[in-house]
Structure 1
């Protein structure tokens, strides 16, 4: 199922910081990992991903560095920072409140006070 860009947009920072918390990654690797883990629901284009990564870098949530990849080719890797880890905690809290609230609405009256 193709995902609505509006739904994905609201969770992009959470998704990216979550992946980078596990290990440093380069852009194409991030795109492929998101696609794999989401059963192809999240299919980012490079033109979508890199502006968000640059925004995260400018905000101090990630930093980038150049290193040789598996093929020996230089790649730009992204690494979560201490501030990025703090922001990830906040993003997870926001997501929990949001998803719980949506579930209360779509789940009907029986879930309203759960």
Structure 2
């Protein structure tokens, strides 16, 4: 699969929290599961460390509940579950996203308007 360009990477930085909250809205998960889910959905260039740092941030912001669950391999895993505050944050993310998309869609499409310039 083609690697993400710099522009895509920069745009993703601003939306990754909302994307992860969306995954957690579907079901509780631990860090590696979230990373694997992102990769399955086409976000292949996201480093595991990026996800773990983001999980620490959303835990500090009290957007998730965390439960330590025994692991067959190694130490217990932290399983993250979206809580009510996280759901509110996710709702705000989608509202903001939809407003942004609406505004962007009303910008002129440079591929069609700048022919021959």
Give the TM-score of the pair, scaled to structure 2. 0.79
Q: What is residue 98 of structure 1 aligned with on the other side?
A: 100
Query: What are the ranges of 5 or more consecutive residues in structure 2 without an aligned counterpart?
Result: 111-117
Q: 1:13, CA displacement in angstroms?
A: 1.3
Q: 1:85, CA displacement in angstroms?
A: 0.3
* The one of 37, 45, 50 aligned to 2:41: 37
User: Over residues 46-80 of structure 1, what are the superposed CA-to-partner deviations in whole Å (9 max), with x where a residue is unaligned?
Assistant: 221111111111111012221135xx233211111
Moved over 6 A (4+): none
Tell me the distance in 2 between the aligned counterparts of 1:94 and 1:106: 21
Say whether 1:11 aligns with 2:15. yes
Query: What are the ranges of 5 or more consecutive residues in structure 1 without an aligned counterpart?
Result: 109-114
After TM superposition, list the pairs within 5 Å mapping 1:48-63 onto structure 2.
Answer: 48-63=50-65
Q: 1:29, CA displacement in angstroms?
A: 0.7
Give the TM-score of the pair, scaled to structure 1. 0.81
Q: 1:103, CA displacement in angstroms?
A: 2.2
Q: What is residue 2 of structure 1 aligned with on the other side?
A: 3
Larger Rg: 2
Q: 1:106, CA displacement in angstroms?
A: 4.8
Q: 1:43, CA displacement in angstroms?
A: 2.8
What secondary structure, in the 3-state scheme, does the structure 2 residue paired with 1:77 have? strand
